[in-house]
């Protein structure tokens, strides 16, 4: 049986989704996204699929080399999420998650993930978050 198409982009709801976008912009700015190695923030998981989601999964996708530079004690070659035992990864992940929870009032599950692993293990819909849209300036006559 095929899953029906989602009638919504997400089930987070306004104004919480607006607060989430503002928080994501701050995190992207802190890491200077877009920047080499940083793909940016993505909303993933159940909040995109169903109204009874438990938490909002936010992922910072990094190319493998950048992930390795940020978390040098982690071996990403195993294919398992061993970084969850790394003290730097855990501290940064929980600090950002708690800050985002405070900013949005949402139960945020934030994580840094290496791109190769994320693409292999979680090949599901992702929605970019915290993007900045710049409108062209009107030319002055």
Q: Residue 108 — pLDDT band, cuts 50, 70, 90? A: very high
Long-range contacts of 13-19 (CB under 8 A, 24+ apart): 16/104, 16/105, 16/106, 19/103, 19/104, 19/105, 19/106
Residue of 112, 125, 129, 97 whose CA lies nearest to 64: 112
- Which has the higher per-residue pLDDT, 10 or 105? 105
| For range 6-21, the mean pLDDT | 85
Single out the residue of 133, 128, 131, 132 nearest to residue 61, CA to CA. Answer: 128
| Percentage of the chain exceeding pLDDT 70 | 91
Asked whether the beta carbons of 25 and 132 are under 8 A apart, the reply is yes
Q: Express each pLDDT in 63-104 by its tens digit.
A: 999 999 999 999 888 777 889 999 999 999 999 999 999 999
- All structural domains of the chain, each given as residue ranges with its CATH number in brackets, are 16-129 (3.30.460)
At 2, the pLDDT band (50, 70, 90 cuts) reads low
For residue 56, the model assigns a pLDDT of: 97
Q: What residue ranges in 93-137 does DSSP mark as E strands?
A: 108-114, 127-129
47-56, 82-91, 117-126, 129-138, range with the lowest pLDDT: 129-138
Burial of 122 (0-12, 13-18, 19+ CB in 10 A): middle
Q: In DSSP terms, which residues pair with 44 in a beta bridge?
A: 57
Q: What pTM was estimated for this model as a whole? A: 0.84
**Mind listing the pLDDT tens digit for each residue in 23-36?**
999 999 998 877 77
């Amino acid at each position: 049986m095929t899953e029906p198409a989602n009638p919504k982009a997400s089930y987070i709801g306004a104004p919480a989704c607006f607060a989430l976008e503002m928080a994501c912009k701050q995190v992207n700015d802190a890491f200077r996204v877009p920047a080499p190695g940083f793909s940016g923030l993505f909303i993933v998981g159940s909040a995109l699929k169903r109204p009874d989601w438990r938490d909002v999964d936010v992922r910072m996708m990094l190319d493998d080399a950048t992930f390795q530079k940020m978390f040098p004690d982690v071996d990403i070659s195993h294919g398992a999420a061993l970084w969850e035992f790394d003290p730097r990864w855990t501290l940064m992940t929980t600090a950002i998650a708690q800050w985002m929870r405070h900013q949005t009032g949402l139960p945020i599950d934030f994580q840094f993930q290496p791109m190769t692993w994320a693409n292999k293990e979680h090949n599901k819909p992702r929605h970019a978050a915290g993007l900045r849209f710049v409108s062209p300036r009107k030319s002055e006559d």
